[in-house]
């Protein structure tokens, strides 16, 4: 489904992503792991179009995404969350959700003459209910706790019409209770045959959830395979624990 070919990105003399190639299978959860600074988020940013690659190509369902803008990639089906929470702080949760659902809202005249209330409320309510956030629907996003923001952000990414979900450390920094909540949500998505590409530091969390694991170190892909294969991979252990 998502195919990466020889993707590279240099920052000055540092090779943040170095000639990476892999493929993400449809309906599977693929985890991208690696030590801090190994280039995982840079790779995510290259796929999403936030950063421009030096070399390489990105394909989604055989369609070349390499030279198109972030918003076009999103409209083609790449939905993502960032490492840092990026909700619209001065808008309510409901408004944040509506923005993800609407595709006509950038059309000025259509928006000017259309209704402002009542649209898609049921859909938003049901989605937020998945993570028990529906009661906070009318709260401003900036007033939520960090963990709540992460939950809402994931729901927003799910609500967007998409082919692949890219989640950058969704459970980092959240309380154990919220971690459980998020884990349940991801398992629910797994049963729904969603294609998910996830970066996560918590090895136990990710190895229990993922179908496939890709390991990065110093910008390179050092291992690929099933979680059971990765657990015992010598190179992976060295990358995490040192020689």
Closest CA to 8 of 154, 200, 203, 216: 216
* Shortest Cβ 146–another protein spacing (Å): 16
Q: Choose which of 13, 62, 116, 204 interacts with another protein (CB under 8 A).
A: 116
Rounded distance between C-alpha atoms, residue 1 and residue 23, angstroms: 7
* Among positions 114, 143, 145, 184, the unique one binding another protein when judged by CB under 8 A: 114
Residues 49 to 108 in contact with another protein, rule: CB under 8 A: 50, 69-71, 74-75, 80, 82, 86-91, 95, 98-100, 102-108
Nearer residue to another protein within complex by CB, 91 or 130 = 91
Size of the site for another protein (CB under 8 A): 32
Q: Which is nearer to another protein, 18 or 79 (by Cβ)?
A: 79
Nearest approach in angstroms of CB 213 to another protein is: 25
Q: Which lies closer to another protein via its Cβ, residue 153 or residue 200?
A: 153
Question: What residues does 213 pair with on adjacent strands?
Answer: 31, 225
Of 49 and 147, CB closest to another protein:
49
Which position among 46, 48, 51, 236 is part of the footprint of another protein (CB under 8 A)?
Answer: 48
> Contacting another protein (CB under 8 A), which of 12, 36, 62, 112?
112
Residues from 147 through 176 that contact another protein (CB under 8 A): 156, 160
Alpha-carbon span 209 to 24, nearest angstrom: 15
Q: Note the residues at the interface with another protein (CB under 8 A).
A: 48, 50, 69-71, 74-75, 80, 82, 86-91, 95, 98-100, 102-108, 111-112, 114, 116, 156, 160
């Amino acid at each position: 489904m998502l195919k990466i070919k020889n993707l590279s990105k240099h920052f000055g003399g540092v090779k943040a992503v170095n000639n990476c190639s892999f493929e993400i299978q449809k309906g599977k959860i693929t985890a991208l792991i690696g030590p801090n600074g190994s280039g995982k988020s840079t790779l995510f940013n290259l796929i999403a179009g936030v950063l421009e690659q030096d070399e390489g190509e990105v394909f989604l369902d055989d369609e070349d995404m390499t030279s198109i803008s972030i918003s076009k990639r999103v409209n083609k089906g790449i939905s993502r969350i960032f490492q840092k929470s990026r909700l619209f702080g001065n808008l309510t949760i409901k408004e944040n959700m509506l923005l993800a659902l609407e595709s006509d809202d950038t059309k000025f005249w259509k928006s000017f003459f259309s209704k402002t209330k009542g649209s898609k409320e049921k859909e938003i309510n049901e989605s937020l209910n998945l993570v028990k956030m529906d009661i906070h629907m009318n709260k401003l996003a900036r007033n939520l706790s960090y963990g709540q923001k992460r939950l809402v952000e994931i729901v927003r990414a799910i609500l967007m019409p998409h082919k692949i979900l890219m989640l950058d450390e969704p459970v980092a920094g959240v309380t154990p209770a919220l971690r459980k909540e998020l884990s349940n949500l991801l398992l629910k998505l797994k049963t729904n045959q969603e294609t998910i590409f996830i970066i996560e530091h918590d090895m136990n969390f990710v190895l229990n959830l993922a179908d496939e694991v890709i390991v990065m170190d110093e910008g390179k892909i050092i291992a690929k395979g099933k979680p059971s294969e990765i657990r015992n991979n010598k190179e992976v252990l060295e990358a995490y624990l040192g020689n």
